[in-house]
């Protein structure tokens, strides 16, 4: 542990070390560990290596429990149990953050996304231009162009979800944290779905709640996740039902609940909600399953979780985002119809 490890390209890396005594605060043994994890200081309460990595927003690589990843940053981490019951946690930075094959796949996805979305955007642009009112249209042509416009918008959204999810699978999902309030994001997520809800006679309600702490998140990613939950409920809602959005501070996280009041999901459907491949094969379509899969990836990249709960009165999809990065409170949102 006292030696320096030489990484790829001759770059030297030093181990990060922290001692976790049986009682008391963790003791940092040098700054490399903070640099490896991108932290300004250690969390005050840490019980194990996995606890520390999770608090820093890292996730273990499937099948490789000592390899942890976050936004393309990869560390090798573990712990040793000492004779007095204390734990010595260690980390090594891995200089090559992404393999050449992964970088090639990400680049390929970017090219495919550009070509496909460019073509769809071109179709949408011409349809919108013809619908602008400057060119007289017969009713049948008008309806046809409106259908083209709707389908182009739907295809653009679907392709964006597909390529974002594929990048997330490679550990290359683009996101940028910013310290902000959740309330405006929740209101915007509902507003974007009001037209669809009105068409099916479903009410969208943002419930009032206690002041929430500001959180450091990618607002667009979290808003997309909330919208995906709303869209999932809209596909199953019956006329007259309500979809309620509510946020609750719970310890070190903020929990955002999107609840549909009505007939709850079956036990089988509840288990399958976030299983995108199984749902796609079973339902013979991918759009909603992919949206929820990407929502899960977007939340997990922030160090949060997603889940589903049912009771006799309905179904609740929920997500959590860490709130420990900032305890400053934002104004509470008033209930909106």
pLDDT surpassing 80 at residue 233: yes
Report which listed range, 6-15, 106-115, 137-146, 328-337, is most confident.
137-146
* Both tokens assigned to 110: 């970017």
Q: Are 171 and 72 in contact (CB under 8 A)?
A: yes
How many other CB atoms are there within 10 angstroms of residue 65's CB atom? 12
Q: How confident is residue 337, by pLDDT bands cut at 50, 70 and 90? A: very low
- How many angstroms separate the most distant Cα atoms in the chain? 85
* Mean pLDDT on 101-112: 81
**Mean pLDDT, the chain, whole residue set:** 86
H-run or E-run covering 12: strand 12-13
Distance (Å, whole) CA 14 – CA 78: 15
Q: Is the dihedral of CA 272, 170, 90, 176 positive or negative?
A: negative
- One-letter-per-residue 3-state SS of 260-276: EECCCCCHHHHHHCCCH
* Mean pLDDT on 27-56: 87
Q: Calculate ∠ Cα 306-255-327, nearest 5°.
A: 130
How many other CB atoms are there within 10 angstroms of residue 195's CB atom? 8
Q: Are 265 and 225 in contact (CB under 8 A)?
A: no
Considering only CA atoms, give the Rg of the chain.
Answer: 23
* Both tokens assigned to 235: 């596909």
Q: Where does residue 301 rank: exposed (0-12), middle (13-18), buried (19+ CB within 10 A)?
A: buried
Q: How confident is residue 152, by pLDDT bands cut at 50, 70 and 90? A: very high
Q: Regarding beta strands 87-93 and 16-20, do their DSSP bridges make them parallel or antiparallel, or are they unpaired?
A: antiparallel
pLDDT surpassing 80 at residue 336: no
Closest CA to 177 of 127, 230, 214: 214
pLDDT score of 324 = 57
* Both tokens assigned to 320: 């959590």
Question: Measured between alpha carbons, how far is residue 127 from residues 114, 117, 146, 147, 151 in Å?
Answer: 20, 15, 8, 9, 11
Q: Are 131 and 146 in contact (CB under 8 A)?
A: yes
Question: In this predicted model, what pLDDT tens digit does every residue of 69-105 receive, in sequence order?
Answer: 887 678 889 998 888 888 999 998 775 555 666 778 8
Q: How confident is residue 205, by pLDDT bands cut at 50, 70 and 90? A: very high
pLDDT score of 8 = 37
Q: Calculate ∠ Cα 326-274-179, nearest 5°.
A: 15
Question: Measured between alpha carbons, how far is residue 271 from residues 35, 254, 266, 275 in Å?
Answer: 39, 23, 9, 8
């Amino acid at each position: 542990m006292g030696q320096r490890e030489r990484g790829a390209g001759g770059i030297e890396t030093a181990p990060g070390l922290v001692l976790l005594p049986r009682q008391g605060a963790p003791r940092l043994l040098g700054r490399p560990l903070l640099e490896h994890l991108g932290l300004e200081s250690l969390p005050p309460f840490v019980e194990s290596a996995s606890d520390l990595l999770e608090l820093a927003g890292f996730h273990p690589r499937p099948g490789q429990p000592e390899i942890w990843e976050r936004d393309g940053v990869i560390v090798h981490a573990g712990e040793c149990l000492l004779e007095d019951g204390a734990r010595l946690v260690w980390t090594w930075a891995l200089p090559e953050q992404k393999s050449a094959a992964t970088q090639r796949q990400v680049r390929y996805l970017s090219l495919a996304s550009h070509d496909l979305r460019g073509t769809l955007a071109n179709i949408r642009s011409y349809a919108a231009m013809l619908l602008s009112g400057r060119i007289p249209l017969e009713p049948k042509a008008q309806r046809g162009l409106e259908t083209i416009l709707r389908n182009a918008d739907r295809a653009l959204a679907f392709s964006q979800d597909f390529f974002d999810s594929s990048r997330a699978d490679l550990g290359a999902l683009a996101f940028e944290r910013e310290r902000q309030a959740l309330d405006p994001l929740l209101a915007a997520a509902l507003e974007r779905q009001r037209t669809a809800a009105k068409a099916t006679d479903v009410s969208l309600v943002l419930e009032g709640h206690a002041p929430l702490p500001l959180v450091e998140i990618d607002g667009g990613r979290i808003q997309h996740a909330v919208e995906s939950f709303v869209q999932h409920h809209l596909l199953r809602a019956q006329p007259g039902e309500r979809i309620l959005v509510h946020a609750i501070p719970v310890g070190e996280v903020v929990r955002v609940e999107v609840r549909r009041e009505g007939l709850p999901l079956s036990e089988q459907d509840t288990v399958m909600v976030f299983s995108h491949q199984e749902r796609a094969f079973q339902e013979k379509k991918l759009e909603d399953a992919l949206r929820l899969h990407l929502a899960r990836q977007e939340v997990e990249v922030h160090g949060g979780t997603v889940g589903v709960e049912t009771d006799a009165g309905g179904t609740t999809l929920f997500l959590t985002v860490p709130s420990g990065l900032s305890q400053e409170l934002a104004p509470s949102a008033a209930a909106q119809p």
